[in-house]
Amino acid sequence: MNLHVLTAMELRSRLDSGSVKPQDILEDLRGRYESVEKKVMAFARPPSFECREARAAGALKGIPVVIKDNICSRGDLTECCSKILKGFVAPYDATVVEKLKESGASIMGKANMDEFAFGSSCETSCFHPTKNPWNLDCVPGGSSGGSCACVAADEAIAALGSDTGGSIRQPASLCGVVGMKPTYGRVSRYGLVAFASSLDQIGPITKDVRDNAVVLGVIAGHDDHDATSARISVPDYLAETEKDIRGLRVAIPREYFVEGIDPDVRQAMMEVKAKLESLGVRFGEVSLPHTGYAVAVYYIIATAEASSNLARFDGVQYGLRQMGRAEDESALIGMYKETRDKGFGAEAKRRLILGTYVLSSGYYDAYYLRASRVRRLIKEDFDKVFKEYDMVLTPTSPTPAFRIGEKTGDPLSMYLSDIYTISVNLAGVPAISVPCGFARSGLPIGMQLIGRPFGEADLYRAAFHYEQSTPWHKQKPKL
């Protein structure tokens, strides 16, 4: 049986009819893991193929789910792919993990990621880089590169990632899978190791739109443990996917189709527009005038918040501890510095230095405060567009997957690979990446649909109708 190639909903009907048992799926995934993982290297560490506590009979009963290495699951190593969290076994479940278990899902293991989610290529993991299943010389994108690669390679049925500036959508696009960054506040962040608290969201990564809608329905909702989670009811996203899309108004922002966009990506977007028009969607061109400032705003705000959040990794409460040198100002400060120097990789240090700089006395107004003001302008750009349109269509990434090592020497060019996804986090709105074709190189291309706050159901609806009328989600990489 080739169970690993199926979606969660396809497995659901086989499980319900009794023709397949949860352990059969795990055994099949074990075989798949053993044959392709050495090529893809999608996992942070070997997963478990034992059927783990699948408590209730919910929407995901018997479905194995992989989670990113920055989401706590009780009793499991949760190291954020960083040396500084070496040996950290989470003493509690993140709310999303709790909800997955309550829905009957089995947590299979942890996916590889850029260290602390700092990266767009999965190359900053302290373990190993993950490869793109479509071309093993290319990156899977990041930071949720392992989560997306394991779904694309059929090593997992579904996965969770986290998205601070594109970390679910960009790798979903580069790996040819579906990835949703929900509205800020839609999903509880309790138990997600914090990167930038005003931007982070957890979201599902799946083989198709329906699976994505089901997983989001399971993990969304208010949580007393996260004061920023919204008290807004969770719709039946799966039922919403079926609703008609005729008359839907979709905006195309002219700022997203400028220099730097790959010709194959541009061509794919034209075909998406034509396809959606044939399904009854109406298009209009709009301007999001502050788009060009988003990457600059993001790398100030996200690093500032990260420098504060990562202050907790100091060798006292968990993870690595290294003693300092005799010349240090005190043994305690020496321990902090040595622990953090040995524990953090180069990209983490770079971001902590930048974040500390923009918050430091004398520079706070010029950088952090100014960026916070421009952030409001970026959000207001979206508010204006959503008065007339239901959603915005853009590419997810300006290019298909790039080669491993291509951008590691140039942090700024790596940061610019998130140019289409970053504004979404700054504005707090939801966005989904859906496969929309292939480049001449054979690498997948993804489109991004950006919605109104708490408009995930509209995004699923448009994405589902598009997906059902195209062949892209049925394509599989040859491994």
Partner 1 sequence: MPISRDDVKYIAHLARLGLTEQEVSHFQGQLERILGYVDKLKTLDVSRVEPMTHVLDLKNVYRKDSVVPSIDPPAVLKIAPATQGQFYKVPKVIE
Confirm whether 121 is a catalytic residue: no
Question: Does residue 386 bind partner 1 (CB under 8 A)?
Answer: no
Q: Does 143 sit behind a cis peptide bond, omega within 30 degrees of 0 on the bond before it? A: yes
474 is catalytic: no
Report the chain's C-alpha Rg in angstroms: 21
Q: Report whether 5 contacts 154 (CB < 8 A).
A: yes
Stretch that binds partner 1, among 49-57, 208-216, 276-284, 325-333 (CB under 8 A): 325-333
CA distances from 256 to 251, 291, 423 (A): 11, 8, 11
Which positions from 251 through 290 interact with partner 1, judged by CB under 8 A? Answer: 290
Given the residues 144, 167, 307, 397, select the one marked as catalytic.
167
User: Which residue in 218, 187, 235, 242 sits closest to 60, CA to CA?
Assistant: 218
Tell me how far the alpha carbon of residue 307 is from its chain's centroid: 21
Residue 224 CB burial class (10 angstroms; 0-12, 13-18, ≥19)? exposed
367 touches partner 1 (CB under 8 A)? yes
Q: How far is the CB of 256 from partner 1 (least distance, A)?
A: 18
Q: Is 143 a catalytic residue?
A: yes
Coil, strand or helix: which one is 11?
Answer: helix
Sheet of 282-286: strand order equals 106-111, 64-68, 158-163, 201-206, 178-181, 431-438, 444-451, 391-395, 249-253, 282-286
Query: CB-wise, 278 or 330, nearer to partner 1?
Result: 330
Q: Is 203 in the site for partner 1 (CB under 8 A)?
A: no
Residues in region 63-102 near partner 1 by CB under 8 A: 87-89, 91-92
Candidate residues 116, 134, 336, 420; the one interacting with partner 1 per rule CB under 8 A: 336
Structure tokens at 283: 């298009």
Contact range with partner 1 by CB under 8 A, out of 110-118, 122-130, 239-247, 326-334: 326-334
With CB under 8 A as the contact rule, the residue among 249, 266, 312, 376 that binds partner 1 is 376
| Residue type for position 433 | S
Binding of partner 1 at residue 369 (CB under 8 A)?
yes
The yes or no reply on residue 411 touching partner 1 (CB under 8 A) is yes
Residues in region 165-194 near partner 1 by CB under 8 A: 184-185
The window from 51-59, 269-277, 361-369, 435-443 that contacts partner 1 (CB under 8 A) reads: 361-369
- 8 A C-beta contact, residue 323 and residue 272: no
Segment near partner 1 (CB under 8 A), from 13-21, 226-234, 235-243, 384-392? 226-234
Q: Choose the binding region for partner 1 from 15-23, 138-146, 157-165, 407-415 (rule: CB under 8 A).
A: 407-415
Q: For residue 253, what is the enclosing H or E element?
A: strand 249-253
Q: Does 374 bind partner 1 (CB under 8 A)?
A: yes
Which parts of 114-143 interact with partner 1 (CB under 8 A)? none
With binding defined as CB under 8 A, does residue 316 bind partner 1? Answer: yes
Task: Choose among 95, 94, 77: nearest CA to 86.
Answer: 77
In contact, 174 and 132? CB cutoff 8 Å? yes
* Under rule CB under 8 A, residue 50 binds partner 1: no
3: tokens are 């169970």
| Residue count, binding to partner 1 (CB under 8 A) | 74
**Cβ(208)–Cβ(470) under 8 Å?**
no
CA distance 313 to 71: 16
Instruction: By CB under 8 A, name the one of 273, 350, 384, 476 that touches partner 1.
Output: 350
In the bound state with partner 1, the residue whose beta carbon lies nearer, of 22 and 182, is: 182
* CB of 372 vs partner 1, minimal distance in Å: 4
Task: Report the catalytic residues.
Answer: 68, 143, 167
